Amino acid sequence: MTFTVNGAQATTVTLSGGQATFTTTTLPIGHDNVTVTYNGDSNFVGGTSGTVIQIVSAATPTPTTTTVTSSQNPSTVGQTVTFTATVTGGGGTPTGTVTFTIDGTSGTPINLVNGAASTSTSTLTVAGSPHSVSATYSGDGTFSGSSGSLPGGQIVNKGAGNGTTTNVASSLNPMVSGQTATFTATVSGSGGTPTGTVTFTIDGTIGSPINLVNGAASTSTSTLTVAGSPHTVSAAYSGDGTFAGSTGSLPGGQTSTRPTRLRH
In tens, the pLDDT along 207-240 reads 999 999 999 999 999 999 998 899 999 999 988 8
Residue 212 lies in a domain: yes
Are 21 and 42 part of one and the same domain? yes
Residue 206 lies in a domain: yes
Residue 20 lies in a domain: yes
HSE, CB side, 13 Å, CA atoms: give it for residue 127. 14
Q: What is the CATH number of the domain that holds 71?
A: 2.60.40.1940
For residue 160, the model assigns a pLDDT of 67
For residue 263, the model assigns a pLDDT of 62
Are the C-beta atoms of residues 78 and 87 closer than 8 Å to each other?
no
Are 151 and 172 part of one and the same domain? no
Q: Cα(32)–Cα(172) distance, rounded to whole angstroms?
A: 94
| AA letter at 181 | A
Are 252 and 170 part of one and the same domain? yes
Higher confidence at residue 3 or residue 130? Answer: 130
Q: Cα(140)–Cα(146) distance, rounded to whole angstroms?
A: 11
Residue 262 lies in a domain: no
Residue 198 lies in a domain: yes
Residue 153 belongs to domain spanning: 64-157
What is the domain count for the chain? 3
Are 116 and 72 part of one and the same domain? yes
Residue 228 lies in a domain: yes
Is it the case that residue 241 has pLDDT exceeding 80? no
| AA letter at 71 | S
* Model pLDDT for residues 144-197, shown as the tens digit of each residue: 999 999 999 999 877 666 789 999 999 999 999 999 999 999 999 887 889 999
Are 140 and 85 part of one and the same domain? yes
Q: Cα(87)–Cα(93) distance, rounded to whole angstroms?
A: 8
Nearest to 151, CA basis, from 137, 165, 131 = 131
Are the C-beta atoms of residues 159 and 76 closer than 8 Å to each other?
yes
For residue 9, the model assigns a pLDDT of 65
Residue 137 lies in a domain: yes
Strands 181-189 and 164-170: antiparallel
% of residues, the chain, pLDDT over 90: 58
Mean pLDDT computed over 28-37: 86
| AA letter at 256 | S
Are 130 and 77 part of one and the same domain? yes
Residue 28 lies in a domain: yes
Mean pLDDT computed over 60-64: 91
